[in-house]
Structure 1
Amino acid sequence: MAWFALDDGFDTHPKVRKAGNAAVGLFVRLGVHATRHLTEGHLDGDIVRSYGTEPNVRKLVSVGMLHTSGHTCPRCEQPADGDYVIHDYLDYNKSRAQIEAAREAARKRQQKGRDTARSNRNRAGNGSDSGSIRSGNGSESERNRTRKDPLFDDAPAGHDDLSRRDTHEGATVVPSPPLPSHNYDGADAGGGSTGSSAAERDAFAPTPIEVDAFQLTDAMRRWCAATYPGLDVDHSTAQFVSHYRSTGTRRKSWPDAWQKWIRDDAQRAQQRRPFTQSNVIALPGQTQPLTGTDAKVAGWLAIRDQLRQQGDSA
């Protein structure tokens, strides 16, 4: 999927104000069309006229957002007779070669992921790696120990790959539109289903890992202290690790499992909390106070006797 870029000053640009909303809406549609078909800003005249009215097309040409054949702009190529070209398109958008190269790289990454998932399933079926996975000494466990959950990672967020803001060499850098979340079960807006096979879904699915990969971070301590003050986070975490280590259970996200454990632990502690003095009534002649239902019944009987005494004295 490619993107037609507009910078954050587009809405107040003098050309945009002069062209008006209707003509600008036509311009955006034409830009998306050119990006989808990788024309590098060149537009067929019939497409332009089918998208908008002649007055709006003339407005875009008059303000310099579109060029016709024979234009005098030194930075833009000449379109064919009857066609149009978007002004400075390649200053803000990637070229056809760049987009095709990025798509080919993405295709190779997806194929590598599918091959890796298929290989992992084959090894799991043969049982050749089951011992090393359970032992926690293999390279897979070492990688798992370095994983961090984004909810509790104290490190600043960032990206290792190039941003979508990168354009061709020497081009002006402009903000990119928000990126959609990946949907490996559906199709792209431009058509063509991607990631719909079970193998591709498996390639991007998180891998269950052992509890030895779990680490209690400072951010998780702060969350526990703010949410459940008074709870012994170290004791609860030790119980959590011991439980899952003894059972050999594996989870895809240990921080999520830890959060659930802490919530349950706090609830159990609340339920184990002893009755307060307001819920305890000591009857005459008793050394141990009554609790629970007995205390409630005794309290009602005491209130009844008090009311009777008040009635007799009246």
Structure 2
Amino acid sequence: MTWFKVDDSFHSHPKVLAAEPAALGLWVVAGSWSGANLSDGFIPDHVLPRLLPDAASLAQQLVAAGLWKRARGGYRFHDWGDFNPKREEVEEERKAARERMRNLRTKRKGAAQDANGSAEQSANVRDVFVTPTRPDPTRKEGGSSSYVTHDRAHEGPPPSRCTEHLTTPTSGPCRACGDARKARDQWDADRRRRIDAAPTCRIHRGQPAHNCAPCRSERLGADHQEQP
């Protein structure tokens, strides 16, 4: 996944103030399309109608405002490479990520076969490869590269220690471990709130509606009775 970046001073830039809101909407949607397709800020003419209604006339407004430039077969973002990663950079990063994943899987496989066990045996892929939780994934959380923010509700609980001390407890204070414990406490609190707010079974009080154990047992028993 790539990110189309918008500077926080974009709203007050003279070029932006000179364009209509609808044209700025096209600028944002087109930027997202370019980031997804790695077109380096180039928007083909045939893509414009798929992005927004009346995109052709809106594109002319962006050119007049200096936000776009007319190019052969389409339009191009002004100074795209100054704010957004280029295609070559994204492809290199993805290649490096795939290599890291292959290496990690190899280590995990070797650790699983180790009778004595090792630190890699308890490693979690999500602790190393986590979808960034900030719009700008180049910015680090917590001021430490050894701790990765981990707050997606559908994932398992984050580790309570930093990656350096994940399997080896530290005797002294560790700022990254402190950040990790805070994130784990927050995850536990969020999980309790989600459980408390979740719908309950109408028949069995206290059981979640989507995963009621007594209902599952009753259905399983009925299935066995129907078998010849």
TM-score (norm 2): 0.54
Q: Which residue of 2 aligns with 1:247?
A: none
The equivalences for 1:152-171 within 5 A come to 157-159=143-145
Task: Provide the C-alpha distance between the structure 1 equivalents of 2:164 and 2:170, rounded to a whole number of angstroms.
Answer: 15
Q: Tell me the SS of whatever aligns to 1:104.
A: helix
2:6 matches 1:6:
yes
C-alpha spacing 1:62/1:208, structure 2 compared with 1 (3 Å):
closer
Identity of aligned residues (%): 24
Partner of 1:284: none
1:60 aligned partner: 62
Runs of 4+ in 1 over 6 A off after TM superposition: 205-208
Shift of 1:98: 0.8
Residues 182 and 45 of structure 1: CA distance in aligned 2, closer, same or farther (over 3 Å) = farther
1:114 paired with 2:105, answer yes
Within 1, Cα distance between the matches of 2:50 and 2:174?
Answer: 60
Q: What secondary structure is seen at the aligned counterpart in 1 of 2:40?
A: coil
The aligned counterpart of 2:15 is 15
The aligned runs of 1:1-314 (5 Å cut-off) are: 1-52=1-52, 53=54, 54-68=56-70, 79-81=71-73, 83-123=74-114, 127=115, 129=116, 157-159=143-145, 209=167, 213-217=169-173
The one-letter amino acid paired with 2:76 is: V
AA aligned to 1:24 is L
CA distance in 2, matches of 1:117, 1:214: 23
Which has the larger Rg? Answer: 1
Aligned to 2:214: none
Superposition deviation, residue 50 in structure 1: 2.6
Deviation at 1:33, TM superposition (A): 0.6
**Cα distance, 1:35–1:209 mapped onto 2, change above 3 Å:** closer
Per-residue deviation, 1:89: 0.8
1:240-290 superposed Cα distances (whole Å, 9 cap, x missing partner): xxxxxxxxxxxxx8xx8xxxxxxxxxxxxxxxxxxxxxxxxxxxxxxxxxx
> For the residues of structure 1 that align with 2:27 and 2:62, how far apart are their CA atoms?
7
Give 1:301's aligned residue: none
Q: Give ranges in structure 1 of 5+ residues lacking alignment.
A: 69-78, 134-139, 141-155, 161-178, 187-204, 220-252, 257-314
Q: Which amino acid aligns with 2:111?
A: N
Q: Distance in 1 between matches of 2:103 and 2:149?
A: 22
- How many residue pairs match? The answer is 146
Alpha-carbon distance in structure 1 between the residues aligned to 2:149 and 2:66: 32
In 2, Cα distance between the equivalents of 1:217 and 1:33?
46
Match of 1:276 in 2: none
- Match for 1:12: what amino acid? S
Residue 48 to residue 181, structure 1, CA distance change in 2 (3 Å): farther
What's the C-alpha RMSD, in Å, of the aligned pairs? 3.5
Q: Following the alignment from structure 1 to structure 2, what is the Cα–Cα distance between the partners of residues 101 and 181?
A: 25
Distance 2:166 2:144 in 1: 24
Q: Whole-Å Cα distance in 2 between the matches of residues 27 and 107 of structure 1?
A: 32
Tell me the alpha carbon deviations over residues 131-189 of structure 1, each in whole angstroms, 9 at most, x when there is no partner: xx6xxxxxx5xxxxxxxxxxxxxxx82338xxxxxxxxxxxxxxxxxx98587x88xxx
Considering Cα pairs closer than 8 Å and 6+ residues apart, tell me whether 1 or 2 has the greater RCO.
1
Structure 2 vs 1, CA of residues 12 and 180 (structure 1 numbering), >3 Å: closer, same or farther? farther
Q: In the alignment, what sits opposite 1:143?
A: none
Seen in structure 2, the aligned counterparts of structure 1 residues 27 and 208 have a Cα distance that, compared at 3 Å, is closer
